[in-house]
Amino acid sequence: MKYTTLLQLGDKISKICLGTMTWGQQNTETQAHEQMDYALSAGVNFWDTAEMYPSPPAQEKQGDTERFIGTWFAKTKQRQQVVLASKISPMSFLRDGKTRFNAKHISQALDGNLQRLQTDYIDLYQLHWPERETNYFSTRGYTPAMTGQDLSNLTPFLETIEALNNEVKKGRIRAWGLSNETAWGVMRYLWEAEKNGLQGPITVQNPYSLLNRLYEVGLAEVSHRENVGLLAYSPLGFGVLSGKYLNGKQPAGARLTLYDRFQRYINPEAKSATQQYAHIAEQAGLDMAQMALAFVNSRPFITSNIIGATTMDQLKSNIDSINLELSNDVLEAIEQVHTKQPNPSP
């Protein structure tokens, strides 16, 4: 395994992060425990979850992912070996669909996170997506419709920062980060925190893959200048970049076979780009999924790459991608495809 350092905490974390959102939907508790056992034995000490998981979200299953992690901690007594990240999520079935990133709701959410996880602290606590309407979750650009929002009805940035810093003082979280955030949002949080002498966000968790490199447009410089690294999610585009959906295939039990809400990864442009990336992998004698993950691993703004798997074979292969270094020829071929078909799956 390779590691990076969360500078603000001093923690050494694995460049591969164990994603967990299938646990409770596509994976049982026993399977989740098996994945945790293997991941830690392979040196993957950084794990990410959220209060709304599993995903796709369902009210009757909400929190099961964290509960599975909690029972593993209770069984193995290895909480101290894991750098754990979780989130507060503004879902319609949480807090009557009225979640605000204020002290009351952050405290309520954390109460539930900690109880389910069977721990008294979370290393990295993240705001799952912004309160305001902006370009995230398959929205490529900031649209005119978004300009008419009245932000005065939302939680002020400083109030959120103060609430999170208060939880740091209590010892319930050690640091905090953002998710599905824009360059403006990250910089606004950083500015408010610095102005008021408070701890700001240390990471941002956004999508990043061969099919979605929008992070490079503005946020990559923020990562570089402000030491706020990317935790890349969906690095395989919900499995599309493994090649298993090529030529119209619909593998039984696969995510896009089971759920139709992630069609952005298999639109015509995405299919075309994926076919070209598959050809690059074939010509280079590479496993396509490992090539896609190795590309993400190699980016200088990456703090950790969040992989997810429903089978142990997938998990082992994904973790092993850390050992693959792509040649200049492969990287140049990837850039040629990206230039022709940039970001088909925002």
Residue 53 catalytic? Answer: yes
Distance in angstroms (rounded) separating the CA atoms of residues 111 and 25: 23
- Helix (H), strand (E), coil (C) string for 18-63: EECCCECCCECHHHHHHHHHHHHHCCCCEEECCCCCCCCCCHHHCC
Concatenating the DSSP letter of every residue in 76-90 gives H--GGG-EEEEEE--
Q: Which of 153, 220, 145 is nearest to 182 (CA)?
A: 220
* Neighbour count for residue 171 (Cβ, 10 Å): 9
Exposure b/e, 255-288, CB count within 10 A at least 16 = b: bbeeeeebebbbeeebbebbebbbebbeeeebbb
What tokens does 200 get? 């700001």
Local structure of 319: helix, strand or coil: helix
Catalytic residue among 3, 38, 53, 125: 53
Distance in angstroms (rounded) separating the CA atoms of residues 268 and 131: 31
Catalytic residues: 53
